[in-house]
Structure 1
Amino acid sequence: MIHFAIVGCGHIAHKHAKAMKLAQDAHLYAVCDTNRISLDDFIVKTGAIGYSDYSAMLDDPKIDVINICTPSGLHERLAVQAANAGKHIIVEKPVALDLESAARIQEACLRNGVKCAVVHPNRFRPAIVELKKMLEQGKFGTISHVNATVRWNRNQAYYDQALWRGTKAMDGGVLMNQAIHNLDLLLWLMGPVKHIQALTTTRLRDIEAEDVAAALLEFESGVVGMVEAASTIYPKNYEESLSIFGEKGTAVIGGPTASWIKHWAFEDSVQADNEQLIRRIEADPHGIPGHQQIISDMIGAIREDREPVVTVEDGRNALKLVLDIYEAADRNATARSFVQPGAAH
């Protein structure tokens, strides 16, 4: 049995606790939060040992893995502490809010010989797994372009739940919080990005970070990528999609979450086989929950002494792409500010 501990008893921690119940050989041993109400509620619901002092929890020799479920701005400090205490780590996305913090997490894990996984669970969705197979088999031929779309709702009440939500120092906006999963998928499927044009803005929510973003990517392979992300969709989550277009194949994964096959056509495929695949995905679009897969993979990584499927480096790459989009948007904003209304250009 591998003993896990959760720090941060907010909304996402409940997904981790549920995943531990479902994963074989995983046991939620302890939880930690400075908010006594949240902590006591979590203790009652899970039966775990409760700590209000993180350092004290790290001193417990029974704990094998720390799951970091706090606001993003705290990830670095908590992860480095856990690594220095010899604990393996599962950290919620984003791995950190800047590249220097991500590097310090990575260095601490290497120095202390501990594993660290970043929670990017969308890679485990059945439709995405099938999409990855088709790419690896070369079924698309030369790919012309890809598209990632997140059209979701995070209303003002969502951001008003806590002062840190929507801030640049502790949280970030729609790219850092929602669309980072889709950016991770693009990197996992298409490889590195070499050029970006972008625009980000805050249209409807009273927050510091962006609630709408659009980016045009050029991958090192020459593939063109388009990203649209918004947390302003009324009245609820509408669409999350991932599309790939190639000379010999087209695939669109969509729905409220990118879990259903909306289009699946390949030059050398049999239509009956395509329809059978679509029906199989529709029967169980989510498969084994992504958080459960992350937990189980960490157990395997510890026992087999290997890297987790989603590494700190993977988390850093997704973070870097978000930051590069922000930088491109800033360049774009600066360029636009030099163009006067009505001026010839």
Structure 2
Amino acid sequence: MAELRVGLVGLGMMGRHHARVIRETEGITLAGVADALGDPHGVAGKLAVSPDVDALIALGIDAAVVAVPTAMHEAIALRLAEAGVHALVEKPISGDVDSATRVVEAFESRGLVGAVGHIERFNPALLSLRARLESGDLGEVYQIATRRQGPFPSRIADVGVVKDLGTHDIDLTSWLAQSRFATVSAQTTLRSGREFEDMVSFTARLQNGVITNHLVNWLSPMKERVTIVTGERGALVADTVSGDLTFFENGTVRTEWDSVMAFRGVSEGTMVRYAITKREPLRSEHEAFRDAILGVTPPAAVVVTMREGLENVRVAEAVLESARSASTITISA
């Protein structure tokens, strides 16, 4: 396998993990790092810390990972595209639809691989869930519900919870159902005294008729990352913190206890927690990015494209507009 020279822009909380995984992944090498604020976590090792993306490009890199604040994504991504460098940009791809569109067009027009770091696509529980949906284990899918809650992240300052965390659920929901969002209706609130929303609850309907429900906040003392897909044969529940996937089957055994029967729409069936291989999602993401650049067939996994990242920002903006206007928003095709 050819060795790709990869640069890393941003050495903060997420950048330090990218540095580690790049060094551990076959077929790629960490050729340089850049951060105007230095190396707070000491991940550069023997590499000199470049002051900006231009200095990193000058090292002769094939690809780059962009792990800087969202407000900086567009400028750095466009500079990488101009230099002919493939890029994996952390989510969200950019802060708004217009800037995200410019990034997408820059990479597509040059035939470069542009990916977005929606890492949940590579979580083993969700990969298994998607495969089981595709094989028809649930039959027709009725509903997808997600809960993504946790303590306030001091590192996030330039976007609210919708574009930071909510885009994860927007992306994974559309990917699981293989359908775009059609309408959204949302409520947001600000409780932490900062500029952006820190809590959102929204419902949606996808173009294929699946209904969805999402609870996302930065104000919970416990961390929760749960996706529930309900269909005609039962429900699949993915916990992406532990990487577990559980199937709750609709029962086929008749319940004879009348007082219990009165409270159940369907009877309980077998519950199974699947044994699945649990690989680090970030490693799988980097392998997918590598394979996309090298044209490996079949790839280890499929990257989240920049155009998909753009669609996630479009839906996120519809969620925010719904909350502002107290109305249901139809998302344009």
- Bucket of the pairwise TM-score, normalised by the shorter protein: 0.7 to 0.9
1:98 Cα deviation after fit: 0.6
Query: What is the CA deviation profile of residues 93-124 of structure 1, one whole-angstrom value per residue up to 9, with x for unaligned ones?
Result: 10001111111111111222211111112112
Q: Distance in 2 between matches of 1:78 and 1:299?
A: 20
Q: Distance in 1 between matches of 2:180 and 2:249?
A: 26
- Selected match of 1:309 from 303, 306, 312: 303
Partner residue, 2:187: 199
1:333 Cα deviation after fit: 7.8
3-state DSSP class of the match of 2:73? helix
Q: Distance in 2 between matches of 1:181 and 1:267?
A: 32
- Unaligned runs of 5+ residues in structure 2 are 253-268, 329-333
Partner residue, 1:264: 248
User: Match for 2:198: what amino acid?
Assistant: D
How many residue pairs end up in the alignment?
306
Q: Distance in 2 between matches of 1:81 and 1:5?
A: 13
1:133 Cα deviation after fit: 1.4
Larger helix fraction of residues: 1
- Selected match of 2:92 from 76, 91, 94: 94
Q: Return closer, same or farther for 1:83/1:305 CA change in 2, 3 Å cut-off.
A: farther
Alignment of 1:2-41 (within 5 A): 2-36=4-38, 38=40, 41=42
Is the contact made by 2:14 and 2:67 (CA closer than 8 Å) also made in structure 1? yes
Q: Distance in 2 between matches of 1:279 and 1:327?
A: 39
Partner residue, 1:114: 112
- Selected match of 1:253 from 231, 238, 245: 238
Partner residue, 1:320: 314
3-state DSSP class of the match of 2:164? helix
User: Match for 1:250: what amino acid?
Assistant: A
Q: Distance in 1 between matches of 2:146 and 2:296?
A: 34
User: Match for 1:212: what amino acid?
Assistant: M
Q: Return closer, same or farther for 1:296/1:305 CA change in 2, 3 Å cut-off.
A: closer
TM-align CA RMSD: 2.4
Q: Distance in 2 between matches of 1:87 and 1:261?
A: 37
- Selected match of 1:177 from 153, 164, 171: 164
Partner residue, 1:342: none
Q: Distance in 2 between matches of 1:324 and 1:93?
A: 17
- Unaligned runs of 5+ residues in structure 1 are 335-345
Q: TM-score, normalised by structure 2?
A: 0.85
Partner residue, 2:200: 213
Q: Return closer, same or farther for 1:178/1:110 CA change in 2, 3 Å cut-off.
A: same
Q: Distance in 2 between matches of 1:180 and 1:258?
A: 20
Query: What is the CA deviation profile of residues 14-69 of structure 1, one whole-angstrom value per residue up to 9, with x for unaligned ones?
Result: 11011112211111110011113539x332xx3223211321221222x1111101
Is the contact made by 1:140 and 1:266 (CA closer than 8 Å) also made in structure 2? no
1:267 Cα deviation after fit: 7.6
